[in-house]
Every structure is written in C-alpha cells, then in structure tokens.
Amino acid sequence: MLLLCRALRRICAAGRPPSRSLMELRELVPALNDFASLSLAESWDNVGLLVEPSPPHAVRTLLLTNDLTEQVMEEAVQKNADLVLSYHPPIFAPLKRVTWRTWKERLVVRALEHRIGIYSPHTAYDAVPHGVNNWLSKGLGACTSVPLHPSTAPSHPTEGTHRVEFCADTAENLETVLSKISDIPETFCLTTLPVRVDGEEQTRVSLNCSQKALLEVVALLSQNSLLYRKTEIILLQKPLLPHTGMGRLCTLSEPASLSDIIERIKSHLKLPHIRLAMGTGKTLDSPVKKAALCAGSGSSVLKGMEADLYLTGEMSHHDVLDAVANGISVILCEHSNTERGFLSELCDMLTVHLQNKINIILSEKDKDPLQVV
C-alpha cells in the first residue's frame, strides 16, 4: 500500500507518468564513487551509502542537500526523491537502535519507510580538485591554489610498503637465504644484481615486502651478522595526488585590499554579513596576497599556515586569537555557509557525470541553523 501511494503521489505531482530516466542504485553508487573517490575522505569520516532500501532500488530523482534535517527529509518524501545526497553524513556516531526517539533515528525510519537511500561524500568532496574548497576559492577572485594538506594515492606504486636491500660478498649460503625469503608471504619483486663494491664482486639483493613480512625478513637476515650489517630498509612512499587534499593555499593574481576581499566573499556566498577578526597591525586597506581557506570548520587544517588571511566557516576562539596575534586576519562565515553554495555546481557536474540519466534537484529547505537576530 505504501509503495502504491508513493507511485500515485509521483504521478499526481508531475501531472504525467514518471520519467523513464533512471539508474539502479547498484549502478549509481559506483558512479558517485567515481566522481569523488571515498578513499580521499578523512579516516574519521563516515562516507558512502549510509542507508540502502532493499534491492532492487531504482533512482529517478536525486535530492542534494548540505544537511539532512527532518525538514529536508520531509521535502525528499514530498518530491518523491529516491536518493538523498547529503554532504554531511546524518549518521556519524553509531546508532544502537532505530526508533522514533531521536531525530537522527527518525531520519533512518522515514528513509526506509519511503524507500529513500542516503549517500554522503563529506571530506571526499573537500579533497577533490573539483570539490568544495575549489568552489570556495572562487570567492577570492582570480588566483592559483594548492592543497594545504595534499592527499596521497590509496596504494603504493609497487607491491609492498617497504624495500629491503643488502649486499652479499660471497655466494655461500646466499641461495639458501634467497629461497627462505621467497617462502615468506607478502614478499615481492625479489631481484639480484652483480655489482662491484670497493673493487670486490658482490651480489646486490633487493625485494619489496609488507609491514608484516618485513619482521620475518629482518629476523632471517639477522641470523647472518654480515648480511644484517649491510641491510638497508626503505619505507616506500605513496605518491601525492595532484591538486588534491584538504584546504587550499590561494595566491591572488593581483593583491586586493581586505575590504575588497570581504565584499567578494559576501557576494560569492550570498551573505549580507560575515565575521572578521583583524590581524594585529592590519587594517581594512591592508593588501591580501595569500589566503588559506578550508570549508566548514578550519581550525585543524589552517593552524600554523602562513598567509595574510584565513577563510573558513568556524574556528575555535583560541585559534582565532593565535592567528590574529600572528598578523593574520580571519573571516568566518558560519560552517555550512562555506559549503552549501557548492551544491549548485555539483548539480551541474553530476548531471554531466551521470549522463543526464536521472533528475537531480536541490533542496529548498536546507539552510544554516544560525541566524543574526
């Protein structure tokens, strides 16, 4: 009966049969993950598909919101959304029960009752080059930017996390050692190379291994003091991903006064006001050449960065004091005000990325909970 009512509501609301354009959730979620890899999210974050109706689940309408409140969930029901993409994860701390008692539990209940999935990208969208921080940087005017905390690739370019190298100046027992190394699980790329060291013919041995295998390799080599003394252990670094990471350090093409920057940001974020902490020795006419920014809550990301200006949604009182004492002005716009405007760009990008297969709409009920009175 519930599914029938939903279908009838969909037909009545549109004045015509529902669009044939759709994607199965099992197809849509990987496509969303391709748009911004969840491996880029911070380790503490809770990202991806958080609520899944029983399959199969067809998605015709995707609702974008910054925060999934009960008001936004009711909007999703009324607009017949099949999936809500909520930038902030509505489920963060583990739920021990799903009842009607708390608002976050009620979100899950309502979502499942109306067969609405919930997906959250959060800090994965912060990190990607085409994400929230890139959008926020446009409020400064023409500039170039680099991540404050660059992201690394999810895996090493070669197998293993460590490289072990050693030289043997005698073939005696070397074959036995190499055979034993080969038998250790998670050892890779074992190679030997004849070399001349200090005029003597030697064999250079190189191998990659995991952290677990490293302990066994070292234990084996330590049984031969001569080999062990000549052993080098190299930690393999994951490569940095270009233009990807948390926060942005922006260098303006032309310096601008602090007052001009304020007006640009207010215009970009469509805000009548912002909060300003003036850096020591600075005025509204002081030039801004470099700005460090972080959408949302920027204290941990911006801390210690050298810039003329910090731009973020919120910072702790004492972190603001530290910045001001160091001559850095701080602009605070409230947490979600530095994120929500990105959704309009996201709507356009996802429409292209998903090849216009589904309807993508923006929430009209989503808003920052704080207001000036």
Given a contact cutoff of 8 angstroms between Cβ atoms, the answer to whether 277 and 323 are in contact is yes
Which range is least confidently modeled, 22-36, 69-83, 224-238? 224-238
Higher-confidence residue: 11 or 282?
282
Q: Check pLDDT > 90 for residue 171.
A: no
> Is the Cβ–Cβ distance between 123 and 47 less than 8 Å?
yes
Written as one letter, the residue type at 350 is: L
Annotated binding site: 88, 126, 335, 339
Q: Residue 167: which pLDDT band, with cuts at 50, 70 and 90?
A: confident
pLDDT at 356: 96
Helix (H) or strand (E) run with residue 168 in it: strand 162-168
Say whether the peptide bond before residue 369 is cis (omega within 30 degrees of 0): no
Q: What are the Cα distances from residue 169, in Å, to 43, 173, 190?
A: 45, 11, 18
Distance from C-alpha of 312 to C-alpha of 335, rounded to nearest angstrom: 7
Query: Which residues are annotated as part of the binding site for a divalent metal cation?
Result: 88, 126, 335, 339
Q: Check residue 57 and give its pLDDT.
A: 98
Q: pLDDT over 90 for what percent of the chain?
A: 81
At residue 127 the predicted structure's pLDDT band, cuts being 50, 70 and 90, is very high
Distance CA 133, CA 321 (A): 24
Delineate the domains of the chain, giving CATH numbers in brackets. Answer: 23-125+342-362 (3.40.1390.30), 128-151+243-334 (3.40.1390.30), 162-235 (3.30.70.1150)
The mean pLDDT of 296-321, rounded to a whole number, is 97
**Whole-number Å distance between alpha carbons of 291 and 300:** 16
